Structure 1
Amino acid sequence: MNTPSGNPWAILVALCLGFFMTLLDLTIVNIAIPDMTDRLGAALDHIMWVINGYTLVLAVLIITAGRLGDLFGQRRLFLVGVALFTVASALCGLSPDVYTLIAARVVQGVGAAVLMPQTMALIVRVFPPERRGAAMGAWGAVAGLATITGPSLGGLLVTALDWRFIFLINLPVGAMALLLGWRLIPVDPPSARRPVLDVPGVLLATAALTLVSFALIEGERFDWGRVYGPVTIPFLLGTGAALLALLAVQQVRRQGRDPLVPFALFADRNFGLMSLAAALVSVAMLSFFLLVSIHLQSVLGMSALEAGLTLVPQAAVSMVTAPVVGRLVDRVGGKYLLVGGCALFAVSAAWVVALLGTEGDWRTFLAPLLLMGLGVGAVFGPMNTLAMDRVRPDMAGAGSGVLNTARQLGSVVGGVVAGALLQSVLADRIAARAREAAAGLPEPAREPFVRGLARSADQGVEVGGAGAAAPAPPEGVSAATADQMAHLARSVFADAFTETAHVVGLVPVAAMAVTALSALAVRNTRRRGAARGAGRTAGGRASGGGAAARAGARAAE
């Protein structure tokens, strides 16, 4: 293993700056959708691909980029990724039309996919095992900072300037990450042999993940049916699954010759379980925040910025908690800290969901969101440390790529599951509530009221919630009846969405409960405390004896 002579904490700053940019651009764009639609004169479908193009490329390419880092150098790949991401950010900010913007976002996604897995792999390389938990905790805190910064900074930039600055803000951050990375990250160690890229594996993985990710991201828009001609969403999912099976067969035959996915990774129980945990945590995070954000805006009438600020306490606490928990991982191991973090997340998520109603403001959710911040802060650092604990340095990039791919696919699946369940349950609840409420209307208005609300069930979540739910009154009804219909429609939608939220809210709670159970099955990591205890037992006779004691402590786990 190459041991760098520089300060690993200074190197971590460079890594976190790059990582921060990639996460910021997952959260900052949503709030600028109305401004981009207006200023570019683009359809909503096109603007959504400004978001989905980045997400799709990120999910597809991370696994390949992680292995490329192992084969050709993580420092080299990190610097290339940062440079590409920064240039693409400038192109996004200068785009004259929506098509150029989508293309630039795809390039930005390529840069993010290239740099993201290198950050975790370089942490494994530059930090000794007894300090790796603290480093992973600080790295995980960046996610909390990006969560805070995205909606609030995006709202500020869009309000004061325009949407272009949500991309141009990346330029100074990228320049700093590039400069620090160039100067501080140690040169990649020379390879004893010429590496060989698994081109068939890369092609199979890229094709399979593209088909599966596209189908999951776009399935709801195409009503899980025909996309174009004979191509349907089920066909894309089935073909993607078949290609994944073919990839598995190809990888079995490739082991021993620089495979894309070294199966030795999964010989470690911790890595396999934490890969599952990474996907489940992303399902929980995405489904929870999607549900709550929509409820705050559609039912409680908050703006996007107000909804984002309501969630800031959770992110702020997690950002502060994560480094502290990381240091504890180095002392006592990550297993029970992760179990506790998952339990806190599940309990606090259930608490928030129980509080979702037709009335409330940011103070309603403050206490459970603060508790959730403690839970989230105790999840990512321990989870990543447990996953990478026994991964060999020459496979760190592949391991990071697999973990990040699981995380990205978990986010996609979480959005799909939450969105599909939300729409189906909401349609049923609105139909039932509408029929009950229609009994209080004059006879000519009853059927139009029920039909109108049924049609608005799909649109209500997307374009204004309760305010958009009111159906147009039929001709000939009085102004008083029209007002009564509007009032009843808002009440029906709010009540139906609240009932729906209490059902959909089970998804993040269940996902975190399963994650906690999977964490109970991992081997714990005892670093600093175990090594010191073993050293004292042996009498600490010599530095060589201390190293043997540390090795023995690790083997005893």
Structure 2
Amino acid sequence: MGTPRARLVLFTTILGSGIALLDGTVVNVALTRIGRDLEADLAGLQWVVNGYALALASLILLGGSLGDRFGRARVYAIGTAGFGLASIGCALAPTIETLVLARVVQGVAAAMLVPGSLAILQASFTREHRMAAIGAWTGLSGVASAAGPVVGGWLVDRDWRLAFWVNLPLAALVVWLTLTRVPESRDTDGDHRFDRAGVVLAVVALGALTYALTVGPAGGGVGGGAVTWVAAGVGVLAAVGFVVAERRSTHPLVPPRLFSDRTFTVVNVVTLLVYAGLSAALLFLVLFLQVVAGWSALAAGTASLPLSLAMLLLASRFGALSARHGPRLYMVAGTVCAAAGFVLLGFAPRDPTYVTAVLPGIALVGLGLSMLVAPLTGTVLAAAPDALAGTASGVNNAVSRTAGLLAVAALPPLVGLAGEAYADPDAMASAYRAAMWVCAGLVAAGAVLTATALPRRPAS
């Protein structure tokens, strides 16, 4: 930490993952504009979010494993380049269907990009500096989070397509830095034979289950009804087959020994709960402020700026503290704080004043995430052997992305929002309040699990 080489590696991994983070923020802010421009209903808008998540969740384990086998920097650069090229398709999309297709291609590229960012840090920094590096990565990623609502809202108010064009120069810079400045690393001691059965079963299981989660809650949609149940059944069978295949394989895609570690398993379950609540809450907040309160895309996006600023200023500090005192205390306090923030946001009136109705809740969520994210990420990576850094990152990212997919797909119909009801202020106001309570409950459940099941001082 603190050397010029370290700063370059941090900057490259932060900027690459920041592109994906910025893109997700902008898409949430742009949904109402996309819906009007492309004449899309809520199901179509859900697919703009979930088409990306479906491809990413299906392939992210493969992406992490490819980095371990063939070089983390190389795979990271390929994923970033693919993400930039797919952004061109998003920017040029003439219909909602072509936009969804381009978002799926983005998801495929992101499956190589997303796990590589943290895996590069885990492999590049010495053990005593890793938690600090991850804390710095978490905090400085807040720059992308902070820029997303402001820059994204400003672009969307002019033309939502500009929000995808901005990815191109950023992706080009990341590819150049990765290939010229980032040290290459891979699992040199592992068996580099390819686990074909594991790859196929993982893709089928994650793809079929996430597809069922996407179309199932709405009770129809694209391939609804019987096809949804068939997809769910295929997903479950493939998941069981994957577990059996990995136990028998001499070169597994996801070594079963990862889950024999209690810390690794517990933190991944906490990740599932926290990111489900967070993804749904932020989506509902942006829609509520635009549809019910009548705010512009820029104003609605900027509302979450204190969350990003809190991450920027505090995450690295809490990462260093958790390295010194253990992550359990900070993870419990962070989840409780974030849940309290969602409760406060749920009480926002239909014509909210930002300072009194939105800012307190957003600030609490930001403080909670600042305490939580670096310890959570550092702990799950520390629980895995160094040689499997990419695989461990892929597993944790698959969990967080699937959690967001589940929440975005299942929560709207569960709180009474379907079809074009998202554009009805009365329906949106009622659904928003119920959704915030559900999100608070999910994050609070993560606090309970952390307090009761995570060891007080996991091995690092």
Letter matched to residue 245 of structure 1: V
Shift of 1:398: 1.1
Provide the residue aligned with 1:278 in structure 2: 271
1:164 to 2:158 alignment: no
Contact kept in structure 1, 2:153 and 2:299, CA below 8 Å = no
Q: Give the Cα–Cα distance (whole angstroms) in 1 for the partners of residues 22 and 92 of structure 2.
A: 19
Query: Against the structure 1 CA distance between its residues 244 and 131, is the aligned structure 2 distance closer, same or farther, given a 3 Å change threshold?
Result: same
Query: Against the structure 1 CA distance between its residues 332 and 45, is the aligned structure 2 distance closer, same or farther, given a 3 Å change threshold?
Result: closer
Q: Give the Cα–Cα distance (whole angstroms) in 2 for the partners of residues 273 and 326 of structure 1.
A: 19
Q: Give the Cα–Cα distance (whole angstroms) in 1 for the partners of residues 10 and 189 of structure 2.
A: 27
Provide the residue aligned with 1:202 in structure 2: 199
Q: Give the Cα–Cα distance (whole angstroms) in 1 for the partners of residues 186 and 365 of structure 2.
A: 41
Shift of 1:45: 5.5
Secondary structure class of the residue paired with 2:415: helix
Letter matched to residue 134 of structure 2: M
Secondary structure class of the residue paired with 2:378: helix
Shift of 1:34: 5.0
- Tell me the number of residue pairs that the alignment of Structure 1 and Structure 2 aligns: 457
1:329 to 2:325 alignment: no
Shift of 1:99: 5.1
Contact kept in structure 2, 1:226 and 1:232, CA below 8 Å = no
Provide the residue aligned with 2:447 in structure 1: 516
Q: Give the Cα–Cα distance (whole angstroms) in 1 for the partners of residues 284 and 96 of structure 2.
A: 28
Provide the residue aligned with 1:245 in structure 2: 240
Shift of 1:41: 6.9
Secondary structure class of the residue paired with 2:110: helix
Shift of 1:79: 1.3
Q: Give the Cα–Cα distance (whole angstroms) in 2 for the partners of residues 408 and 78 of structure 1.
A: 18
Q: CA RMSD in A?
A: 2.8
Q: Give the Cα–Cα distance (whole angstroms) in 2 for the partners of residues 460 and 35 of structure 1.
A: 14
Q: Give the Cα–Cα distance (whole angstroms) in 2 for the partners of residues 459 and 348 of structure 1.
A: 29
Letter matched to residue 513 of structure 1: A
Letter matched to residue 348 of structure 2: L
Query: Against the structure 1 CA distance between its residues 376 and 194, is the aligned structure 2 distance closer, same or farther, given a 3 Å change threshold?
Result: closer
Provide the residue aligned with 1:300 in structure 2: 293
Query: Against the structure 1 CA distance between its residues 393 and 407, is the aligned structure 2 distance closer, same or farther, given a 3 Å change threshold?
Result: same
Letter matched to residue 297 of structure 1: Q
Map 1:53-132 → 2, pairs under 5 A: 53-95=51-93, 100-132=98-130
Q: Name the stretch that deviates more: 181-190 or 237-246.
A: 181-190
Provide the residue aligned with 1:542 in structure 2: none
1:263 to 2:195 alignment: no
Provide the residue aligned with 1:15 in structure 2: 13
Deviations 1:92-114 (A, max 9, x none): 33456655544433222111110
Letter matched to residue 196 of structure 1: R
Structure 1 unaligned spans of 5+: 424-456, 467-492, 527-553
Contact kept in structure 2, 1:196 and 1:258, CA below 8 Å = yes
Secondary structure class of the residue paired with 2:223: strand
Letter matched to residue 157 of structure 1: L
Structure number with greater CO (CA < 8 Å, separation at least 6) is 2
Shift of 1:387: 1.0
Letter matched to residue 369 of structure 1: I
Shift of 1:11: 0.6
Q: Give the Cα–Cα distance (whole angstroms) in 1 for the partners of residues 113 and 228 of structure 2.
A: 31
Q: Name the stretch that deviates more: 57-66 or 311-320.
A: 311-320
Letter matched to residue 510 of structure 1: G
Question: Which of these residues, 23, 26, 32, is aligned with residue 30 of structure 2?
Answer: 32
Question: Which of these residues, 346, 356, 368, is aligned with residue 348 of structure 2?
Answer: 356
Contact kept in structure 1, 2:153 and 2:298, CA below 8 Å = yes
Query: Against the structure 1 CA distance between its residues 231 and 458, is the aligned structure 2 distance closer, same or farther, given a 3 Å change threshold?
Result: closer
Shift of 1:117: 0.5
Q: Give the Cα–Cα distance (whole angstroms) in 1 for the partners of residues 236 and 257 of structure 2.
A: 23
Structure 2 unaligned spans of 5+: none
Q: Give the Cα–Cα distance (whole angstroms) in 1 for the partners of residues 437 and 96 of structure 2.
A: 37
Question: Which of these residues, 481, 504, 516, is aligned with residue 435 of structure 2?
Answer: 504
Q: Give the Cα–Cα distance (whole angstroms) in 2 for the partners of residues 75 and 124 of structure 1.
A: 12
Provide the residue aligned with 1:227 in structure 2: 223
Q: Give the Cα–Cα distance (whole angstroms) in 2 for the partners of residues 48 and 106 of structure 1.
A: 13
Q: Give the Cα–Cα distance (whole angstroms) in 2 for the partners of residues 152 and 380 of structure 1.
A: 23
Shift of 1:356: 2.5
Larger Rg: 1
Deviations 1:394-441 (A, max 9, x none): 111111111000001111122234213211xxxxxxxxxxxxxxxxxx
Query: Against the structure 1 CA distance between its residues 196 and 295, is the aligned structure 2 distance closer, same or farther, given a 3 Å change threshold?
Result: same
Shift of 1:522: 2.2
Shift of 1:89: 2.0
Q: Give the Cα–Cα distance (whole angstroms) in 1 for the partners of residues 217 and 141 of structure 2.
A: 28
Q: Give the Cα–Cα distance (whole angstroms) in 2 for the partners of residues 511 and 43 of structure 1.
A: 28
Query: Against the structure 1 CA distance between its residues 390 and 361, is the aligned structure 2 distance closer, same or farther, given a 3 Å change threshold?
Result: same
Shift of 1:90: 3.0
Provide the residue aligned with 1:480 in structure 2: none
TM-score normalised over the length of structure 2: 0.90
Contact kept in structure 2, 1:335 and 1:386, CA below 8 Å = no
Shift of 1:349: 1.9
Contact kept in structure 2, 1:294 and 1:461, CA below 8 Å = no
Identity %: 31
Contact kept in structure 2, 1:286 and 1:414, CA below 8 Å = yes
